[in-house]
Structure 1
Amino acid sequence: MNASPKEALEHFIRYVQLEKNFSLHTVREYKADINQFLIFLNNEGVVSLHEVEYIHARLYVTMLYDEGMARTSISRKISSIRSFFRFLNKEFDLDDAPFRSLYHPKKEERLPNFFYEEELKQLFEVNVGEDTKSVRNLAILELLYATGMRVSECTSIELQDIDFYYSIIRVMGKGRKERIIPFGQYAHQALTKYINEARPKLMKEKDHQRLFVNMRGGELTARGVRHILSEMINKATLHSKIYPHMLRHTFATHLLNNGADLRTVQELLGHAHLASTQVYTHVTKEHLRNTYMNAHPRA
């Protein structure tokens, strides 16, 4: 292999874009993770990928720990670089042993944060309004809680993806896997009001099919959704931070607390593996324990 590290990265990015058909977000993460490692190698005086050894992999991971990076982020970076070297091994016969031999850090045992039903009720109530912005924001909040979808899935929804007759919505999940999610009466009403009243006012001269738009009529981004949710939590004066995944966690936790089975929740969330969904059973068990300890006279 005679390609420079930069050229090798370009080969790999084309591969994950065209052959693996990864999402734009995933491709961006791969590129950022590998670029960071290539900068590290350059600083270490390593100019060719043939020179990379296990010691470089260990030094790099040590540096990430020293910077205080979360274990999940370190694990993702290891996976990104390992995939890069695996690709180079397959295409150019480059040795991929340095990262193949590296262990992933153990995951931190952190339970997902979620809203209690009383908190969520307060969040909905204080954000009801008749102005264009409030109608749009409530529709976003209702849909995220009603479906448990990821924010990237929410921002990519188009008008034709919604079936109001059957109250179902089609989303494109990770790995470009399509799934159908039902939504309830509150989300149905909020979406109908937004599409009929608020969206036409926001669109102005714009012409596209994205469901959610910003105040200038352009496509709403994931960053835009985070900003909207932060504004809503401040308005509700709840003493907690909000991020889009919290509503996804809340969706799953509330379903399990109210008797839904794990397999159904897995399918609704679009998890490839049941183990990803099982983390919510720990949350519900903790909820049951706290309820018992607070309610039982002899607890």
Structure 2
Amino acid sequence: MAIEQQPDGRWKVDVEPIKGKRFRKTFKTKAEAQRFESTCRAKCIESPTWSPKPKDRRRLSELCIRYYDLHGHTLADGPALLRTLQKLAKDLGDPVGSGFTGNAFCETRRALLESGIHGKTLNNRLGYLKAVFNELHRLGDIDYPNPLAKVRPLRLQERPLSFLSSTQVQEVLEALDARHTSPALGLIARVCLSTGARWGEAQALTPERVRNGMVTFANTKSRRTRSIPVSKTLEKALLIHFKRHGLFTNCMLTFSRVLDTTQIKLPRGQATHVLRHTFASHFVMKGGNILTLQKILGHTSLAMTMRYAHLSPDHLQDALTLNPLFDTSSTPADSENQKAPKSI
């Protein structure tokens, strides 16, 4: 017997291409069964040791761990990424990877969105999961294509970046300096405001990375080292702190608590990061070059830095004089104070 239909309608293959080499498998259609039989006979003739590869039954959680073992552990936020992926696999019902579909992801995404999870978070998770399938396929660990290849991220309303005014900067620094039990708070905040560093980058500074009027960030998100000039006053304050108190400790949560005691209200998720936005925004508003800002912030893509371009004093100023309502016969003074027409 090579191919035989079963009582349940499926087709069973029982083939022995060479003596002692027997294969059995059941398929939904006769055509699939015939292809399998032909493949077995042809492959065994080419290589007597050949055996059909068993179907990949690994679940999504197993694939996430495999991704971490092969690649994720090399990433700066590898352990945190693995926790996120495992939580996502649980939310998706931990399906078998080879049977996972884009539709299944979209259905779960809708439920999570309606439960209050922000769209940006869900877009991030989609990107993480796509990376898992892409990397495992690239390494040959899975032989099926990325099931999420055609799933598009959610289109989100762009929100303006929040930043502090000069008055608010002083209010924050005074509140931080008043926290005498945490002398590092104000100092780390000043590093962020002076260099555009992320809180974690500033918090990880060591005495060896503060010298010659520069601070060097080596634990960056992009894994690229960058050195930024700072004032002599800030350099001296950092070195004195390291000598008296040692290295900075993790105080990000304390910063958020102090910020809550001020009158400053920020969008959710922009606590310490508002300091980085504040540096970048003031840099551009004072006429700083956008390409220089990209290097200071350590952005790998200029598109990230361009979020601050609209704050430039001359950004899109041609819209004022090149629009169809602009009166070319008016004086320069009139042009600057052009009044809107009464009717259009």
Please say whether Structure 1 and Structure 2 have the same fold, judged by a TM-score greater than 0.5: yes
Task: Quickly say closer, same or farther: Cα 1:118–1:92, change in 2 above 3 A.
Answer: same
Q: Which amino acid aligns with 2:82?
A: K
Q: Which amino acid aligns with 1:171?
A: A
Give the deviation of 1:78 after TM superposition.
0.5
Q: Which amino acid aligns with 2:126?
A: I
Give the number of equivalent residue pairs. Answer: 263
SS at match of 1:174: coil
Q: Using CA pairs below 8 Å that are at least 6 residues apart, which structure has the higher relative contact order?
A: 1
Task: Quickly say closer, same or farther: Cα 1:175–1:136, change in 2 above 3 A.
Answer: closer
Q: Which runs of 5+ in 2 are unaligned?
A: 1-55, 318-335, 340-344
Task: Quickly say closer, same or farther: Cα 1:108–1:33, change in 2 above 3 A.
Answer: farther
Partners of 2:116 and 2:315 in 1: how far apart? 31
Aligned 8 A contact 1:266 1:277 in 2: yes
Q: Which runs of 5+ in 1 are unaligned?
A: 201-210, 214-219, 290-295
Give the deviation of 1:252 after TM superposition.
0.4
Give the match for residue 114 of structure 2: 66
Choose the corresponding residue for 2:265, options 211, 219, 240.
Answer: 240
Aligned 8 A contact 1:111 1:282 in 2: no
Aligned 8 A contact 2:60 2:97 in 1: yes
Q: Is the aligned partner of 1:275 residue 2:299?
A: no
Give the match for residue 32 of structure 2: none
Q: Which amino acid aligns with 1:256?
A: V
Q: Which moved more, 1:178-187 or 1:86-95?
A: 86-95
Give the deviation of 1:233 after TM superposition.
5.5
Give the match for residue 261 of structure 1: 289
Runs ≥4 in structure 1, deviation > 6 angstroms? 285-289, 296-299
Give the match for residue 183 of structure 1: 230
Give the deviation of 1:271 after TM superposition.
0.4
Partners of 2:337 and 2:253 in 1: how far apart? 42
SS at match of 1:272: coil
User: TM-score, normalized by length of structure 1?
Assistant: 0.76
Aligned 8 A contact 1:148 1:251 in 2: yes
Give the deviation of 1:127 after TM superposition.
4.0
Higher helix content, 1 or 2: 1
Aligned 8 A contact 2:286 2:313 in 1: no
Task: Quickly say closer, same or farther: Cα 1:125–1:7, change in 2 above 3 A.
Answer: closer
1:108-257, aligned counterparts within 5 Å? 108-128=157-177, 131=180, 133=181, 135-163=183-211, 165-197=212-244, 199=245, 211-213=247-249, 220=250, 224-231=251-258, 234=261, 237-241=262-266, 243-257=271-285
1:20-99, aligned counterparts within 5 Å? 21-23=74-76, 25=77, 27-42=78-93, 46=95, 48-90=96-138, 91-99=140-148
Give the match for residue 41 of structure 2: none
Give the deviation of 1:184 after TM superposition.
2.0
Choose the corresponding residue for 2:156, options 94, 107, 125.
Answer: 107
Task: Quickly say closer, same or farther: Cα 1:42–1:94, change in 2 above 3 A.
Answer: farther
Partners of 2:277 and 2:80 in 1: how far apart? 23
Alpha-carbon deviations, 1:62-120, whole Å to 9, x = none? 22222222221111010011111112323233433421010111233111111001111
Larger Rg: 2
Aligned 8 A contact 1:82 1:96 in 2: no
Aligned 8 A contact 1:115 1:246 in 2: yes
Aligned-residue Cα RMSD (Å) equals 3.0
Aligned 8 A contact 1:230 1:243 in 2: no
